[in-house]
């Protein structure tokens, strides 16, 4: 008996996925390893914050756009007010996005923030306020991406819903039209 083979969906953008994870892991690994073995706070602060800022930029401008079809930014209008801008693909394009890529994007986004929270708790327990500063900067960058992409995702869900509703409405209209045409003999 032959078993039906299940074709697993692969990553559509493996290089982007790799760098998406690599920058997050790099900042976390550098902070953990160097805080355990090297006691130079300045080096730890500068390099960890640099890696976290690099991760922030890559997620916001590259991997968010490629993996989930979303991006966000902040502008200052003519009156000096901060205006957040959110951009996502249309419903049809979002529906075609790779599910594995999106899964990796969202899980690593949240897990990295959770890891920074845990590291912050350890810094509090060890009464290391200076290391708490590093964690605070890295956590704020992670949370900014989470907030930005969550707001984009709400727009994306609206786009997908309107796309599906539009297709359903077109399918129903086509079905009714064809039924009426066949019922009355109109070809």
Q: What are the pLDDT digits (tens) for 31-56?
A: 888 888 888 889 889 999 999 999 99
Looking at the predicted structure, is the pLDDT value of residue 115 above 70?
yes
Distance CA 173, CA 171 (A): 5
pLDDT computed for residue 142 by the predictor: 92
Nearest to 13 by CA among 73, 85, 103, 90: 103
Q: What is the pLDDT of residue 112?
A: 92
Tell me what the mean pLDDT of segment 18-43 comes to. Answer: 88
Of the candidates 140, 45, 67, which has an alpha carbon nearest to the alpha carbon of residue 59? 67
Q: Look at residue 123 and tell me whether its pLDDT is greater than 80.
A: yes
Name the band, by pLDDT with cuts 50, 70 and 90, for residue 171.
low
Q: For the whole prediction, is pTM greater than 0.75? A: no
- SS3 string, 62-116, reads HHHHHHCCEEEEEEECCCCCEEEEEEECCHHHHHCCCHHHHHHHHHHHHHHHHHH
Which of the 8 DSSP states describes residue 13?
Answer: -
- Tell me the backbone φ, ψ of residue 75, rounded to 5 degrees: -125, 155
Say what the pLDDT of residue 8 is: 54
Q: 14-23, 68-77, 141-150, 158-167: which range is least confident on average? A: 158-167
Q: What is the reported pLDDT for 35?
A: 84
pLDDT of amino acid 9: 65
The Cα–Cα gap between 11 and 7 comes to: 13
What is the rounded distance in angstroms from the CA atom of residue 59 to the CA atom of residue 24? 10
Here the tokens at position 18 are 């790799």
Q: Which of 39-43, 47-51, 88-92, 123-127 has the lowest mean pLDDT?
A: 88-92
Q: What integer best gives the mean pLDDT of the chain? A: 79
- Give the pLDDT mean for 51-79: 86
143 pLDDT band, cuts 50/70/90, is very high
* pLDDT surpassing 60 at residue 18: yes
- What is the distance between the alpha carbons of residues 21 and 149, in angstroms, rounded to a whole number? 16
Task: In whole angstroms, give the CA distance from residue 5 to residue 7.
Answer: 6
Range 139-169 burial, b when 16+ CB lie within 10 A, else e: bebbeebbebbeebbeebeebbeebeeeeee
């Amino acid at each position: 008996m032959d078993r039906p083979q299940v074709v697993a969906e692969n990553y559509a953008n493996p290089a982007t996925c790799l760098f998406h994870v690599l920058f997050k892991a790099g900042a976390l690994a550098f902070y953990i390893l160097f805080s355990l073995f090297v006691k130079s706070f300045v080096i730890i602060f500068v390099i960890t914050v640099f890696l976290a800022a690099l991760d922030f930029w890559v997620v916001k401008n590259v991997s968010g756009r490629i993996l989930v079809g979303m991006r966000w930014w902040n502008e200052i209008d003519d009156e000096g007010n901060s205006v957040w801008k959110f951009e996502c693909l249309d419903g049809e394009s979002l529906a075609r996005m790779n599910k594995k890529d999106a899964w990796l994007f969202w899980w690593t986004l949240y897990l990295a923030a959770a890891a920074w929270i845990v590291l912050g708790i350890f810094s509090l327990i060890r009464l290391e306020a200076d290391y708490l500063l590093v964690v605070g900067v890295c956590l704020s960058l992670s949370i900014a991406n989470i907030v930005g992409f969550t707001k984009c995702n709400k727009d994306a869900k609206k786009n997908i819903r309107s796309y599906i509703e539009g297709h359903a409405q077109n399918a129903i209209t086509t079905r009714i039209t064809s039924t009426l045409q066949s019922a009355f003999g109109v070809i």
